[in-house]
Structure formats: C-alpha cells, structure tokens
Homo-oligomer: A and B are copies of this chain.
Amino acid sequence: MQQKKFTVIGGDLRNLILANLLVKEYHKVEIFGFKNSSFDTELIEKQGIEEAIHNSDVVIGPLPCSNDNETLNAPFHPGRIYINDVFKQLKKSQIFLGGHISKKLLHLSEINNVYTIDYLKREEMAVLNAIPTSEGAIQIAMEELPITLHGCKSMILGFGRIGKTLAKMLIGLGCKVYVEARKYSDIAWIKNYGYIPVHIEQLEDYLNGMEVVFNTIPNIILDSKQLKNINKECLIIDLASKPGGVDLEQAKTMGLKTIWALSLPGKVAPLTAAQAIKETVYNILSELGV
C-alpha cells in the first residue's frame, strides 16, 4: 500500500488506535476529535476540521458514524462536530469512510458531492469482527459459569459468521458443541465441521441438557415456549443485534440468567477491532486503485 494521507476524525478508542496503526505503516495521519482521550499517542490533534482534512486522501469517520444523524459520534471531543461541516470541507478527490452510515447521512453526503463508503457493509469486515465478538462471548461465559467450558454442553443458535467462528473456538477449548440451524446445507456443514447438528425442529429436544446457550439470530427464537426447555442453571448469552433472539421479560420471570452482549469487538479487543478496520480500509482503497 502506497503512502497516503489519512484524517481520522471522531469515534472511540478504536479510531484513535487506528490512527496510530496507520502512522506505524508510514502513512501521514491527522486526527481530530480526541482531546479528552487519555490514550498515550504521539499524534497531536489539529486545531480545526479544516486543517485536519486539508490535503488528506482519505477521511475516516467513526463507527457508528453518528447517533443523531447530525453530529459525528465523537465521545472524546468536548463539543459537537457537525457532519455537514465535515462534508462541506471534503473535495471530490477525497474519500470519506465510516461505519454504519444511515440513509439520511448517505443522502447528505450525496448532496455535498462526497464520495462515501460504509466499511461495515464489507463482508471481510463482518468476518473479521466475528473473531472479537466470539472471544468476548467466551470471556463472558467463563466469567459467569461455575464450570469450565471444557467438557460443558453448549448450544449455538444460528450458523452464520458468528456461529461459525464461535463454534470453532468452543470446540477448541474442549466444549461439546451443538449448533442449531434451519437449512439442510447448514446442517451438512455443521456435521462436516464436527459439531452436533440440531435442526430447528429438534431444538426443544436438545435445549434441556445445555449448560450455556449462545444466540446469534436477530429474531426471537427463544420464546416462552422454548425457554421452558432450558435448565435453571443454564446461562444464556444473546449476541444478536436488536431485537435480539431471547424473550428477555419471559426469561427473567422464569429465573433464567440472560446476558445481552452487544458491540463486543470495541469493548473486549479495541486493538484487534482497529486492525480489522485498517485491513478493510486497505482493501477498499486497493479495489478503488487509489
């Protein structure tokens, strides 16, 4: 990757680490929006947005890009950074990258003639993020359970990116891994990989013996009916984004311990999460021939 000038603007610790990773690989990097961070870095923040963005090839915004569709998500910045102010500064030759960019923001960027790409929509980013998500889930299970994962019976609901990654790690720790899926081809893959396949129609027969259940499906799969099959001692960890896969009210009423764990990569492994962003940014630029 040729030397470039990047501006990293707003975002949490991941973005600040990202800026430092880019410097280490001999790029020029300007930052803005990290004044209140206590992270140890040699990068000195620019006075304003204009200076920070000036002459930059690529501007990297936060993940998620905004919480209100108006200002950048910039928890370490004392004031507000209006996205419109950023977009106004950007020239046609510059690229704006961010994560989880809403339709409204995309529309705003079009009006301002800004070339905007959401790196979270890249498949490789989602695959790389499944790693810290799965490790975070394992950490929670280790912290909460009075037993070792080694030798314990675990069920994963769903065999998408997180399901696949988590299953491999759990079996690597010596766990007995059951995986629920709906499609016959997924059932075949689950067998192929050496886990115990559970077709959705058999789910209730299998839930009973489990000591930990991980959900990865963003639809209520553990409803009141299925929850009845789960032991009191079993821990439920829900990794799915809203609305999640567990009827939390019902689980609470039944005395089942449920943890809804969201946004794990930034929390449990910010450095790894930043590396995933860096790699995805590189891929995007390489495909654009920049």
Contact = CB atoms under 8 A, between A and B. Distances in A.
Interface stretch (A1-9, A75-83, A122-130, A216-224): A122-130
A26 interface: no
Given A146-B269, A148-B269, A192-B165, A123 B173 contact: no
A179 to B, nearest CB: 14
A122 B194 CA distance: 20
Nearest to A186: B124
A270 B146 contact: yes
Nearest to A150: B131
Interface in A161-202: 165, 168-169, 171-174, 183-185, 187-189, 191-194
Nearest to A193: B168
Nearest to A125: B188
A187 B124 contact: yes
Interface of A: 17, 122-125, 127-128, 130-132, 135, 138-139, 142-143, 145-151, 165, 168-169, 171-174, 183-185, 187-189, 191-194, 268-272, 279, 283
30 contacts: A17-B146, A123-B184, A123-B185, A124-B184, A124-B185, A124-B188, A127-B192, A131-B148, A131-B192, A132-B148, A135-B150, A138-B142, A139-B142, A139-B143, A142-B268, A143-B143, A145-B269, A146-B269, A146-B270, A146-B271, A146-B272, A147-B271, A148-B268, A150-B192, A150-B272, A168-B174, A169-B173, A172-B172, A174-B194, A184-B283
Contact of A135 (B124, B132, B142, B169): B142
A24 to B, nearest CB: 13
A142 to B, nearest CB: 4
Contact of A127 (B172, B185, B269, B270): B185
Nearest to A146: B271
A272 B131 contact: no
Contacts of A269: 145-148
Contacts of A192: 127-128, 130-131, 150, 165, 174
